[in-house]
A and B are shown apart, each in its own frame.
Chain A
Amino acid sequence: MSGFGRLVAQLRAMSGLWRSLFLAGLAGLVALNVFIHPHHPHVEAETMIGFWPVFGLGVAVVLAFVAKVVLANVLDVSEDFYDE
């Protein structure tokens, strides 16, 4: 393993710290949204604090369920489907 590889392994071992930083960062972004608004909102909802966080979270959850729970079960075939 290279020196950089060892560094990555050490950073990876601190997953709890990264998770805390990530969640703190998200909270910080929402806090910034209180002060920063679009000058020319594309849609009216954009002026609401937290619109894009809710949009991102909501769309990602819906997409994940639609793709992985619904469609993946309907369209699923083996990886060698056309070779069989």
Chain B
Amino acid sequence: MTSSFYHPTAAFIAMAAAIPFFPNRLYQAWRWILPVPAILAIWAVFTMQPQAHAFMHWMGFTLNVGRVDALSLVFANVFAVQALLGFVYALHYEDKRQHIFAALYVGGAFGCVFAGDYLTLFAFWELQSIASTMMILINSKNNSKATRAGFAYFLVHTFGGLLMLGGMLLRYKALGTFAFTAVEPAAMQYFDWLILFGFGVNAAFIGLHAWLPDAYPEATIPGAVFMSAFTTKTAVYVLARAFAGVEFLAWMGVAMSLYGVIYATMENNARRILSYHIVSQVGYMVAGIGIGTAMTINGACAHAYAHILYKGLLFMSVGAILYSTGTAKLTELGGLAARIPWVMVCYLVAGLSISGMPVFNGFVSKTMTIAGAFADHRPIIGMLLEVSAVGTFLSVGIKLPYFAFFGGKPDDLTRPLKPIPWNMYLAMFGGAAMCIAQGVAPEILYRYLPQPAIAAEYHAWSEWSVLQALMLLGFTGLAFYLLRQLMKPHAQRNIDFELLYRLIGRGVLALVCMPIAWLDTIWTEVYKIVGLRSLLGGGRLTAWFDVKAIDGVVDGTAYTTRSVGGRTAAGQTGRLGDYLGLAAALAFAALAIVFYAIR
């Protein structure tokens, strides 16, 4: 490895390795090391110089663990910031396992971002997958659904990992290299498609996405905050790295953006609503990557940056509600505005950010992708993304906060609320401040984009852009006001592709089980006819042998012994003369035999 390159993953993995040795009773003391790797990562990322390689040698392969360029830096930048916010948010959480797996997870994300070859990428990809699975599974004690959700999550990500592994091995066979480089969209090979869909599992392509709304709501509260930031955005990064300009992605992105908002409009659990909105917002990024112009790639990266901040803040705010009230179901909430007003403020900042409201960062990132689509003469894509923007504001910008904090109910002054720790507030305020800062001064964000010169030409804060956004969102708000009774949440969940996964799983199980069951039936018959009869015959023979031979010998020996004993007893008269006579007779007999032998 080059001496000038500090890999942010190192400190995260070191911390994960060290935490098991820290005593639980001293948690209040050692918890202050939790933000340290993130602070080191921020320092590293902000001082890092672009470089092509940082080599390691492993089993005859040369691994490039440190490719640093504008694209990797923008993602590493926001990963570092969000890692700090996430660990601050989790400071009160005394379960060591949460911090160990969060550190491994974040370390895996950095590893992916700086990977210059597919082997390195795959290793960190899987680390991320396993660590995130554990952040769901460790919640099993508090949430009975977590075990199943974690297992399903792991199966789906294993499937995605296998697609990626198959694609990269076939690619190596065809091209002789594991280099993780951009693919020419017009020359996509079958192995490239395998890799793309492997990435697509983590990006939550429609059809491959159901793990996301099933898993994130079941994770620990800080676990969901971490997971909302890293898994899908790492996938966005690798798609931008390898598959920019692939037309399929443009339309998949549009489909994701629409699909997510429709489901979010129906759902009741706030964390499921936010999860569907990850699908939707990642759709904007995937669409931008698919369109593939400098402006839309910039837009995808800017939106990924903004999204990590506001989505983290959304999960932090809803996590605070869940922590305080014990539920995230909108049907069980309402009337909380005056009880937890700062949580509401933080949520509203995040909700307005995701909706693209001026002043907040979604406004300067989302509009860049949409404007890029129109600039590339794709009005249908542009307009469909505007439809998604309306759906976003309707569901997560208005519906969720309205029913969580107001809901047409009076202020709930009697509900017992668990006090929210200061560190959770600190992380939320930090996230909210960054959302507003980037929205007000977009150059803070734009200068980190892969094409900063192109980004500098884009002016989000034009009169028309502001007016257009306000009109679009304002009248969406009017629609909600008119239809607020219709929008009322109900205690329900909605069937999604997870049912298909289960049916496929049962089908595969049936395919495996049916031939085995058939073979078992045949074997039972054969055994009954041949095996059982042979066994019974063998049993009878053994019984006969036992009775006739074994018992005969044993019983015969016993009878003989008894008979000899009887006769011997009869011979033992007790008279000395009889014994001397018998001894003399035996002596003479012995002498006779001896003489006969020597003669």
Q: Could you tell me which A residues sit within 8 Å of B by CB distance?
A: 1-2, 4-9, 12, 19, 22-23, 25-26, 29-30, 32-33, 36-39, 42-43, 46, 52-57, 59-61, 63-69, 71-72, 75-79, 81-83
Q: How far is the CB of A66 from chain B (nearest CB, A)?
A: 7
Q: A66-B262, A82-B148 are in contact. List 6 more A-B contacts (CB 8 A).
A: A29-B474, A38-B468, A56-B475, A61-B483, A63-B265, A68-B487
Partner of B494, one of A9, A22, A54, A71: A71
CB closest chain-B residue, reference A82: B148
Minimum-distance CB pairs A-B, first 8: A60-B479, A56-B475, A42-B374, A67-B265, A75-B494, A9-B338, A52-B471, A57-B475
Q: How far is the CB of B387 from chain A (nearest CB, A)?
A: 5
Contacts of A76 in B (CB 8 A): 490, 492, 494
CB closest chain-A residue, reference B258: A63
Complex CA–CA separation, A65 to B483 (angstroms):
9
The reply to whether B266 and A72 contact each other, CB–CB distance below 8 Å, is: yes
A-B contact pairs, 8 of them (CB 8 A): A5-B338, A22-B477, A33-B471, A38-B468, A56-B475, A56-B476, A60-B480, A77-B492
The reply to whether A4 and B342 contact each other, CB–CB distance below 8 Å, is: yes
The reply to whether B494 and A57 contact each other, CB–CB distance below 8 Å, is: no
Contacts of B269 in A (CB 8 A): 79
Contacts of B492 in A (CB 8 A): 72, 76-79
Q: Could you tell me which B residues sit within 8 Å of A by CB distance?
A: 144-145, 148, 261-263, 265-266, 268-269, 329, 337-342, 344, 371, 374, 379, 382-383, 386-387, 390-391, 394, 406, 411, 413, 463-464, 467-468, 470-483, 486-487, 490-496, 498, 502
Q: How far is the CB of A35 from chain B (nearest CB, A)?
A: 9
Contacts of B337 in A (CB 8 A): 8-9, 12
The reply to whether A67 and B266 contact each other, CB–CB distance below 8 Å, is: yes
A9-B338, A42-B379, A68-B487 known; A55+B472 contact, CB < 8 A:
yes
CB closest chain-B residue, reference A19: B481
Contacts of A78 in B (CB 8 A): 491-493
Complex CA–CA separation, A2 to B387 (angstroms):
39
The reply to whether A79 and B491 contact each other, CB–CB distance below 8 Å, is: yes
Q: How far is the CB of B527 from chain A (nearest CB, A)?
A: 39
Complex CA–CA separation, A25 to B478 (angstroms):
11
Complex CA–CA separation, A25 to B144 (angstroms):
47
The reply to whether A37 and B464 contact each other, CB–CB distance below 8 Å, is: yes
CB closest chain-B residue, reference A44: B379
Contacts of B495 in A (CB 8 A): 75, 77, 81
CB closest chain-A residue, reference B477: A22
A4-B341, A52-B468, A59-B387 known; A79+B493 contact, CB < 8 A:
yes
Contacts of B344 in A (CB 8 A): 8
The reply to whether B266 and A60 contact each other, CB–CB distance below 8 Å, is: no
Most buried by B among A36, A68, A71: A68
A56-B479, A57-B479, A77-B495 known; A83+B467 contact, CB < 8 A:
no
Complex CA–CA separation, A66 to B480 (angstroms):
14
Complex CA–CA separation, A83 to B387 (angstroms):
35
Contacts of A38 in B (CB 8 A): 464, 468
CB closest chain-B residue, reference A42: B374
Partner of B338, one of A6, A25, A29, A68: A6
Partner of A67, one of B262, B338, B413, B470: B262
Contacts of B463 in A (CB 8 A): 36
Complex CA–CA separation, A55 to B468 (angstroms):
11
